[in-house]
Amino acid sequence: MTEHFDAIVVGAGPAGNSAALVMARAGLSVLQIERGEYPGAKNVQGAILYADAVERVIPDFRDSAPLERHIIEQRMWMLDDHAYVGSHFRSDQFNEERPNRYTIIRAQFDKWFSSKVKEAGALIICETTVTDLLRDTSGKVIGVKVDRDDGEVTADVVVLADGVNALVSSRAGLRPELKPQEVALGVKETIFMPRETIDARFNLKGNEGVVIEAAGTITAGMTGTGFLYTNGDSLSVGIGCLISDFAKSQVRPYFLLERFKQHPAIAPLIAGGESKEYAAHMLPEGGYHAVPQVHGDGWVMAGDAAQFLNAMHREGSNLAMTSGRLAAETIIAAKKAGKPMTAATLKAYRKALEDSFVLRDLKKYRRLPQILETNKHFFTDYPRLITHAAETMLRVDGVPKLDKERAVMASFRSTRKLRGLVVDLVKLGRAWR
Amino acid sequence: MSQGPNMVVCIKQVPDSAQISVHPVTNTIMRQGVPTIINPYDLFALEAALRLRDQLGGKVTVLTMGPPMAVSALRKALGHGADEAILLSDRFFAGADTLATSYALTSAIQKLDSQHPVDLVFTGKQTIDGDTAQVGPGIARRMGLNQLTYVSAIPSIDLEAREICVHRRAEGGVQVLKTKLPCLITMLEASNEMRRGSLPDVLRSERAEIITWNAEAAGVEDLGKCGMKGSPTKVSKVFAPQPRAEKAKMIKADDGSPASLATAAIETMLAEDAGLLKVMAPQSTSA
Ligand SMILES: Cc1cc2nc3c(=O)[nH]c(=O)nc-3n(C[C@H](O)[C@H](O)[C@H](O)COP(=O)(O)OP(=O)(O)OC[C@H]3O[C@@H](n4cnc5c(N)ncnc54)[C@H](O)[C@@H]3O)c2cc1C
């Protein structure tokens, strides 16, 4: 006999977990299905956790969640092969009672998150992959099929939170195939070293942490960025570029990471550490224009599956949690009103997303993915020009400053031409709004 | 209840040794966060019991002694299709060696037996964390059961005649053994392949109430035979083996052909260890 639930959630990442938790807490019968050995087993992230999105689902998460450090300093670096220029922002005010950003280890965090979902009353099964959606004769989604015997189970609504690959959604024709220029591949290493070494190297005390975001020639001419985050007694170091660029350049991702680790700006920070974990994962970076249809008869889609990722600000898990929560709230409201889970009812979810930062931020940067993808000189010429300019101005060698300034201007003009410079400026300006 | 055999399968939750790592900073074993699994040998025992149940009906109860977190091993077992699960958990059980463990498990099996006679008790051949292979035989001895160890197959069972026939791996061959029920079987690795539970099995396993017995509920009579107190085994020292300081050696041969490389390799070995020659000499004459 086939079992029936109010809702089935596919996936136990941030999107699926917040959807399942919110619905279970509201008294809905929820079945959550995860293909990994346990929730978090398959998940890779830098990882920065944004407190606000978690708080809206679990207000007292700080009491029990496995958090590494709260972030008090952000470094943004532009690198050429030998140097970096950048900005650092550090504030003692980030040492607040309820810090806004934390570093986390995703495998641990997801496990913890899942324990909360369970407490709320959802039924969670792992090591089970959803292979297909069940539909009635009208095409309405009425359940899922899993890779086990007697593997059919039905529900009023299915929440697709199956991550960037979204094989279920793609196979069911709910989402177009991913395009290589809209997906990045991130590789990451966790490098262990004593807590005190990290504290000393980054000038930290207690649970303070630092984030470094880096762009420039480190990506070997490809569109992408690198990062370094401080955890309790380890550092997360990673780099990611568009899949289409990797395909074209034939550069191996781990080679890129090795090179990044050897950069003179990074090497001393990780020196002496022991690399213990290596992971690779995709990121949906197509932005607003790549967002597919996110609701239909009997289904909604949340998180990476729906391309909710803000590459510019490296935010993903918060968009995932927020979209999961909004999906859940839509479903709960429909259920309360006794409405059927049709596309017309679930349209409220899309509306809620449009009113929230999720779609508003993606919309703001809607032009950015295409501009960065097609203007590689932002990752090659500019870092070189800017570091070179800094070096020229700082070197005291008897050359008058005016001559130095002229030389710098000339280097910009000869590389990008005046017209190019103006066009780049306009492009970036447009990308920002 | 059906007429089939009433079976108890003893399982143990162990750290997944494939995923244990040494903390790079403190050099201690990182137990925390190491995923736990059902002792792999126990899965062969569980599957053997499940197959008998599929064939003849009856019931499969999984039993484990361990801390509260061991429920996850029991749930996994239910997800594979076991009918019922019992956790033996009590601070009196902590620190048990194989003697004390078999005592506690025996108490629980005897209690089950008093509710409904147990026909077969299964365990794995041994555990991957203790490697003693003593708990199964310990239970058999205490309960006065016939014991069939290192069983690779169960070709027949006759519940009317109360007889079972098994294949047992022995040095140089396979023994075909027949004995009376009830008995205890320890299953050999690779004797079968654990099934993937159906969706209803997995749903049931997540919802199931796991029966938890403390020493009293399990009918333990002598607490002095449990846990640390009841464990005569004393571990005097635990140490990590010294890595051997052997170095690889590059051997070159003039023409680089496999034959001359092999000759060069043998010559190098003999030159480094003259004792080898003595060992080889008598064999080569007698051959
Ligand atoms: C290198 C890297 C660094 C990142 N850094 C950050 C960061 O610092 N901050 C941040 O906010 N975001 C970051 N992100 C993005 C963030 O990880 C994602 O946006 C977020 O995990 C999306 O959550 P999700 O729940 O949608 O998907 P996921 O976390 O991918 O979860 C999807 C889940 O569904 C399961 N699943 C998939 N298919 C099936 C199926 N058919 N049946 C059953 N289960 C299935 C998967 O096993 C998985 O557990 C980073 C990503 C990467 C790769």
Q: State how beta strands B13-15 and B36-38 pair.
A: antiparallel
* Residues of chain A predicted below pLDDT 70: 44-46
Number of folded domains in chain B? 2
B116 and B171, same domain (yes or no): yes
The protein residue with its alpha carbon nearest to ligand 1, atom 34, reads: A11
Distance A164 CA to ligand 1 centre (A): 7
The average pLDDT across B49-66 equals 95
**Both B190 and B269 in a single domain?**
no
The answer to whether A115 contacts chain B (CB < 8 Å) is no
Chain B contact for A276 (CB, 8 A cutoff) = yes
Question: Do B155 and B205 reside in the same domain of the chain?
Answer: yes
CA of A43 to the centre of ligand 1 (A): 5
The mean pLDDT of chain A is 94
Complex ipTM: 0.86
Q: How far apart are the first and last CA of chain B?
A: 64
For residue B22 the two structure tokens come to: 């040494």
Contacts of B24 in chain A (CB under 8 A): 192-193, 274, 276
pLDDT > 90: percent of chain B: 46
The length of chain A is 433
Task: Answer whether A123 sits within 8 Å of B206, measured CB to CB.
Answer: yes
For residue B207, the chain A residues in CB contact (below 8 A) are: 123
Is a pLDDT exceeding 70 seen at residue B23? Answer: no
State the average pLDDT for chain B. 85
Of A82-96, B232-246, B271-285, the range with the highest mean pLDDT is A82-96
Domain assignment present for residue B1? The answer is no
- Yes or no, beta carbons of B198 and A37 under 8 Å apart: no
Same domain, B22 and B161: yes
What is the per-residue pLDDT for A431? Answer: 82
Model confidence at B31, in pLDDT bands (50, 70, 90)? Answer: low
- From the list A148, A121, A161, the residue with the least C-alpha distance to A6 is A121
Among B17, B213, B222, B14, which Cα is nearest to B99's? B222
- Residues B189 and B269 occupy one common structural domain: no
When CB atoms are compared, the residue of A125, A274, A276 closest to B203 is A125
Asked if residues A43 and A106 have their Cβ atoms less than 8 Å apart, the reply is yes
Q: Which domain holds residue B11?
A: 6-225
Q: A253-258: list long-range contacts, CB under 8 Å, 24+ apart.
A: A253/A185, A253/A187, A253/A280, A254/A187, A254/A278, A256/A187, A256/A218, A256/A219, A256/A220, A257/A187, A257/A188, A257/A189
- Tens-digit pLDDT profile for residues A41-75: 777 666 899 999 999 999 999 999 999 999 999 99
Ligand 1: which atom is nearest the Cα of residue A281? 53
**Which chain A residues are Cβ-neighbours of B32 within 8 angstroms?**
none
Question: Top-level CATH class of A4-66+102-177+290-366?
Answer: alpha beta
Looking up tokens 């005190």 gives A196
Q: What angle do CA A164, A9, A123 make, to 5 degrees?
A: 135
The reply to whether B91 falls in a domain is yes
Of B33, B35, B199, the CB nearest to A150: B199
CA distance B97 to B95: 7
B157 and B262 in a single domain? The answer is no
pLDDT score for B241: 65
A36: nearest Cα among B22, B35, B41 = B35
- Please give the CATH topology (third level) of the domain spanning A181-284: D-Amino Acid Oxidase; Chain A, domain 2 (3.30.9)
Nearest to B199 among A151, A233, A274 (CB): A151
For chain A, which residues make up each domain, given as ranges?
Answer: 4-66+102-177+290-366, 181-284, 369-432
Instruction: Determine if ligand 1 sits within 6 Å of the CB of residue A40.
Output: no
- Interface subset of A 182-221, CB within 8 angstroms of B: 192-194
Q: What pLDDT does B285 receive?
A: 45
Q: Is residue B134 part of a domain?
A: yes
- Residue A124 · residue B206 · CB < 8 Å: yes
Confidence bin at B29 (pLDDT 50/70/90): low
**Looking at residue B88, which CATH number applies to its domain?**
3.40.50.620
Both B90 and B202 in one domain: the answer is: yes
Report the nearest atom of ligand 1 relative to the CA of A128: 43
The Cα-based distances of A395 to A91, A255, A392, A407 in angstroms read 30, 33, 5, 13
Residues B250, B211 share a domain: no
Residues B104 and B186 in one domain: yes
Asked if residue B107 and residue B165 are part of one domain, the reply reads yes
Determine, yes or no, domain membership for B230: no
pLDDT of residue A57: 97
Whether residue B240 lies inside any domain: the answer is no
- Please check whether residues B120 and B252 belong to one and the same domain: no
What is the reported pTM?
0.88
